[in-house]
Structure 1
Amino acid sequence: MRTETFQKVLEDLNGSTADIEASALISVDGLMIASALPKNMDEDRIGAMSAALLSLGERATRELGRGSLERVLVQGKDGYIIMTAAGTEAVLTVTAKTNAKLGLLFLDIKRAAQSLSKLV
């Protein structure tokens, strides 16, 4: 039942804007909890990378005195990868198109992460 609820939140997030291509909820140790990913994306690889990047982001913000981590943003030539904590036990990872409106995207992601953190 919880997995279905996670799935619904991810699907709603993906449907909130055409800018979002994929989303996944991943445990902090890199295991996939739920996902709304295209078939060509490797869940295990995404899980491991998301957990590692979030951990590095948290360490960097702490070590460099930037306060608590809000998000990790990776920008590539073909789009964005955005990771944010969903509670203390999970990471919400989203991929977005290159022309995405980041302000609106961050708001949608934050809302989804808050919903998911109450369920994790």
Structure 2
Amino acid sequence: MRTDTFQKTLDELNGSSADIEASALISVDGLMISSALPQHMDEDRIGAMSAALLSLGERATRELARGGLERVLVQGKDGYIIMTAAGSEAVLTVTAKANAKLGLLFLDIKRAAQVLSKSL
């Protein structure tokens, strides 16, 4: 089943680094496809915000002639939110700790997004 593949990929991504706190696969419409989120996180809000930010990122890179969008990175005092496209129909959103090693995270996220996009 595809849903099992999505969940397995997200669980493996979360387990790949102690810096990753949560991950979710979200449709470009903002609907949650699969998630590995803590209980206190609202799936509907995360879905809507992720879809909106990815859309804005794509528009910004196009308007400012920066090429195709690789990722959207939001840095807060307590950590990061990283979004990347998983094919043309979904976005992979990951939350990470403030002291995360971003280079390694970007690599793990890119690999997971490739696996997820093939399953969509």
Assess same fold via TM > 0.5: yes
Aligned residue for 2:83, secondary structure, equals strand
Aligned residue for 2:92, secondary structure, equals strand
- The one-letter code sitting in structure 2 at the alignment partner of 1:22 is A
Shift of 1:51: 0.1
Q: Counterpart of 1:117?
A: 117
Unaligned stretches of 5+ residues in structure 2: none
Between Structure 1 and Structure 2, how many residues are aligned? 120
Shift of 1:11: 0.1
Aligned residue for 1:26, secondary structure, equals strand
Shift of 1:70: 0.1
Q: What percent of counterpart residues are identical?
A: 88
Structure 1 moving runs of 4+ over 2 Å = none
Show the 5 A alignment for 1:7-26: 7-26=7-26
Q: Counterpart of 1:48?
A: 48
Q: Counterpart of 2:94?
A: 94
Shift of 1:34: 0.1
Shift of 1:24: 0.1
Establish whether residue 77 from structure 1 lines up as the match of residue 77 from structure 2: yes
State the TM-score, normalized to the length of structure 1. 1.00
Q: Distance in 2 between matches of 1:106 and 1:98?
A: 14
State the TM-score, normalized to the length of structure 2. 1.00
| RMSD of Structure 2 on Structure 1 (CA) | 0.3
Q: Counterpart of 2:6?
A: 6
